C-alpha cells in the first residue's frame, strides 16, 4: 500500500507486533526459556518442574500486558 504518513497503519502494526511477540514468548516459554533467559540459566517451569503448557504461556503473555492499561487510560484523554 502507499502510506503517506507513518502513523496511518499504526494500529495494524501494533496488532501485528502483539501477535508476533505473543508467538515468540508462548513458543519459548512453553519450552522452558526465551533466548534472553539462557545466559542466566533461568527457566519457566510449572509446579511439577516441567516447562509450562502453551495455553499457560499464552495466558502469561496476555496478562503481562495488563500493567500497560493504567498508563493508556491516563493518556487517552490527550489523544496521544
Q: pLDDT tens digits, residue range 51-73?
A: 999 999 999 999 999 998 899 88
Q: What is the pLDDT of residue 7?
A: 66
Count how many domains the chain has: 1
Q: Which domain holds residue 55?
A: 10-78
Decide if 1 is inside a domain: no
| Angle, CA of 37, 34 and 30, to the nearest 5° | 125
Q: CA–CA separation, 69 vs 76, rounded Å?
A: 10
Decide if 72 is inside a domain: yes
Q: Are 9 and 3 in contact (CB under 8 A)?
A: yes
Decide if 3 is inside a domain: no
Decide if 36 is inside a domain: yes
Q: CA–CA separation, 50 vs 31, rounded Å?
A: 9
Decide if 44 is inside a domain: yes
Decide if 2 is inside a domain: no
Decide if 16 is inside a domain: yes
Decide if 50 is inside a domain: yes
The confidence band for 42, taking pLDDT boundaries of 50, 70 and 90, is very high
Amino acid at each position: 500500500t502507499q502510506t503517506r504518513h507513518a502513523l496511518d497503519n499504526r494500529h495494524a502494526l501494533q496488532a501485528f507486533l502483539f501477535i508476533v511477540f505473543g508467538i515468540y514468548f508462548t513458543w519459548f516459554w512453553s519450552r522452558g526459556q526465551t533466548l534472553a533467559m539462557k545466559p542466566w540459566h533461568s527457566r519457566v517451569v510449572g509446579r511439577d518442574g516441567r516447562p509450562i503448557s502453551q495455553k499457560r504461556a499464552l495466558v502469561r503473555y496476555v496478562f503481562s500486558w495488563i500493567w500497560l492499561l493504567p498508563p493508556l487510560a491516563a493518556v487517552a484523554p490527550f489523544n496521544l
